[in-house]
């Protein structure tokens, strides 16, 4: 009987490509990208828009579009959205500022969601252990649209953190982006109007927007306090993800 011919080992290029495309390698790339983005934010300080304004070379509709694109990139790089919303109102007024801010919000959320889904999901999902993480993942995976809508409506949850948590879950793109677009409008509008009326802090529009920001923040804190027990409850067995079948059927 002839002995089996040993298969030649994979080529160096194949092994390198597998190593580079492994979940851990992709997660390392994501961490490097986020660290670089955060460093650039600290270095260039985009919040200076509030003091120095928009470059005079750009104006009109082109400036609004350019600001929306810059807004999306900045939010993916951890620039606080309230700062950008105030700048949008101060630079373009309430109507155009709100358009640019909402469009930038959706763009930034989409960038973060895409990075988290393709670079981090495979490596991070096996780490979802414990009641809080399991319950949060189950809520986002099963009720993606309404969960994300609630997160966007009530302030307090960091924008970037919500994006990457949703990316690690099994939420789809359409519910995520639609809930982001709808849920971000109220608070975004309040900040944009406050920025547009910053020159007249005693005006009814400024006072109303400032009051809305304060009340929505308090409302979000109350809702989070009341819902904290839901995250502590164990996930029902029927709603947990099935365990992978062992090789050969042996446990």
- Helix H segments across the chain? 12-20, 23-44, 49-52, 60-76, 81-119, 121-124, 131-142, 144-153, 159-168, 173-183, 185-196, 204-226, 228-232
Largest CA distance in the chain: 96
- Which parts of the chain sit beneath pLDDT 50? 1, 235, 237-251
> Please, are residues 194 and 86 in contact by the beta-carbon 8 Å criterion?
yes
> Please, are residues 165 and 135 in contact by the beta-carbon 8 Å criterion?
no
**Cα dist. 29→26, 67, 79, 115, 119 in Å?**
5, 27, 20, 10, 7
Q: Tokens for 117, please give them.
A: 């889904």
> Please, are residues 100 and 84 in contact by the beta-carbon 8 Å criterion?
no
- Quick one: pLDDT at residue 222? 65
């Amino acid at each position: 009987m002839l002995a089996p011919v040993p298969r030649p080992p994979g080529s160096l290029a194949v092994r390198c490509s597998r190593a580079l495309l492994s979940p851990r390698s992709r997660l390392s790339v994501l961490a490097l990208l986020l660290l670089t983005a955060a460093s650039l934010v600290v270095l260039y300080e985009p919040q200076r828009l509030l003091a120095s304004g928009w470059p005079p070379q750009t104006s009109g509709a082109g400036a609004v579009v350019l600001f929306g694109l810059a807004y999306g990139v900045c939010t993916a790089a951890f620039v606080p959205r309230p700062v950008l919303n105030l700048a949008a109102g101060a630079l373009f007024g309430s109507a155009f500022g709100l358009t640019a801010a909402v469009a930038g919000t959706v763009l930034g959320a989409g960038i973060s969601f895409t990075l988290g889904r393709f670079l981090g999901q495979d490596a991070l999902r096996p780490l979802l252990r414990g009641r809080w993480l399991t319950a949060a993942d189950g809520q986002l995976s099963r009720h993606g649209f309404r969960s994300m809508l609630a997160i966007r409506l009530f302030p307090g949850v960091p924008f970037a953190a919500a994006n990457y948590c949703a990316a690690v879950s099994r939420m789809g793109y359409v519910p995520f982006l639609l809930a982001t677009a709808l849920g971000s409008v109220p608070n975004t509008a309040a900040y944009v109007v406050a920025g547009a009326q910053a020159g007249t802090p005693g005006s009814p529009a400024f006072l109303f927007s400032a009051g809305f920001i304060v009340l929505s923040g308090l409302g979000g804190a109350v809702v989070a306090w009341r819902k904290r027990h839901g995250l502590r409850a164990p996930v029902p067995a029927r709603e947990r993800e099935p365990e992978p079948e062992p090789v050969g059927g042996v446990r």
